[in-house]
Amino acid sequence: MFKQDRLELHKAVKAFKRFQSRHYPHITEENDNGEWVFGGPFDRICKAYIAMVEQYNPEEIPVPETLIRDMLYIIARDSECSHLLKATLKYPKWFEKLCPYSVDTRYYNVKWQFAEQLGSYQGDSGIKKLLFQFIESGDEYTERMALQSMCEHFPERAEEYAVKFWKRNVYEQDEYQKIMALYALHRIKSPLLETYIEKSYQTNYCYLKEWADKYKSEMGL
């Protein structure tokens, strides 16, 4: 039964790739925002993925590299809402199995999803420490999601990274880096929050200032 379901998942992925190549040839891993993914071929890969995580325990079956690659590919296609990875959290053995592979995958939309969903992971395995790899990944959004999750599992380190995010100015999305830095300081109740609220007003970033207003109001300042 497992072999049959694994082959069905693989065939569904191959069919989806043909669909994408035929109808959306301009889509790449770099520009895929998930908004084009819908309809029969997408429903088929989602159904095959869910069947795999619901029916099998990865500790009790052989999990070949081809299956890992196919599952990561499917997760990458679900980047608009992350429904599949959120569902996978209900099956922590699968989440724990797939997460280490996501660090080095070429699927950009897999990296940031795992970095984000690790914040909600409540298991006891060591995969939480992968946040320290995600946060140094060299990808702006992945690093931002890793800092968000770090607030949940490593609040004692989140302040250090928040300050680093604020100062470095290495990405075009520097405003969003600073917004996440401010969020982290707020989330962990850092004594530095008030200082960085004031720093926010010294920038030209309007969205950052809106978040500063929100946190300042909550603090009664």
CA distance 29 to 14: 16
Task: State the Rg of the chain over Cα.
Answer: 20
Q: What is the pLDDT of residues 133-161, one digit of tens each?
A: 999 999 999 999 999 999 999 999 999 99
Q: Which residue has the higher pLDDT, 64 or 79?
A: 64
Q: What is the pLDDT of residues 12-63, one digit of tens each?
A: 999 999 988 888 887 766 666 666 667 789 999 999 999 999 999 999 999 9
Average of pLDDT values for 70-77?
95
pTM comes to 0.93
Per-chain mean pLDDT for the chain: 93
pLDDT at 176 over 80: yes
Start-to-end C-alpha separation, the chain: 62
Q: Tell me, what's the pLDDT at 25? A: 80
Q: How far is CA 23 from the centre of its chain?
A: 27
Q: Tell me, what's the pLDDT at 160? A: 97
Q: Tell me, what's the pLDDT at 29? A: 66
Q: Tell me, what's the pLDDT at 31? A: 63
pLDDT at 105 over 70: yes
For 175, counting Cβ atoms within 10 Å of its Cβ (0-12 exposed, 13-18 middle, 19+ buried), the class is middle
3-state secondary structure of 74: helix
